[in-house]
Amino acid sequence: MDEKQIVGEKAAEFVKDGMIVGLGTGSTVFYTIQKLGQLVKEGLTIKGIPTSFQTEKLAKELGIPLTSFSEIESIDIAIDGADEVNPELELIKGGGGALLREKIIAKAAKTFIVVADTSKRVEKLGAFRLPVEVIPFGFEMTERHIIAIGLVPEIRLNGATPFITDNGNYIFDCHFPKHVQPEILEQKLNMIPGVVENGLFVGITDLVITVDRDKNVVMLRRLYHEAD
């Protein structure tokens, strides 16, 4: 069993009967969703809120009942992956393009769990370029504002044309200086007109499920910043 499957399936253990569950997007949380589909077939009663069209399609295929924000007031637990996670449990997300819906769901959840194999754990964020979702109107001007705060943005492409998110927006993938504090950068980006959201997840993560070199499960909690 590979690392992604180990941590993905472990996260499913935190889902209890009757919960509203935020269903993340990506190759690791794929195993969580598969496991939840199996548990639903065995009698687990949950409702999911997907973070992407891709996840919605998978959940439906697996028989996981879905709901929407018009029908609920909060989410009990959200489980998602990350492109990078540092020792403070700060994240870069959005490699798959679903960062806006992922952040909406993570913020709405009483508990936000991240599943991450060892390749996603870093001492400092930034080797993975930071996704920034922007509206198409005036994106050239938005790009100039992003450059002005010290980032190097590059429009994400799908072939020869801009990649389009599930929300109809564009994404800039940005290099940023190593000395920048994630929480300050997150605030600066979201003050730029045209920026919808960015892939920095700061102060949101409650638990990271990962593994050590021997593939033993390790749980990193926000309150203690250390392994159980």
Q: Quick check: 133 and 227 in contact, CB under 8 A?
A: no
d(CA 95, CA 98): 8
For residue 73, with 0-12 CB atoms within 10 Å meaning exposed, 13-18 middle and 19 or more buried, which class applies? exposed
Q: Quick check: 194 and 134 in contact, CB under 8 A?
A: yes
**Known active-site residue 90:** no
Q: 92 vs 48, 186, 201, 207, 213, CA distance in Å? A: 23, 11, 6, 15, 22
Supply 24's token pair. 């993340």
Catalytic residue, candidates 56, 84, 90, 102: 102
| Torsion sign (Cα): 146, 50, 95, 28 | positive
Residue positions annotated with a catalytic role? 102
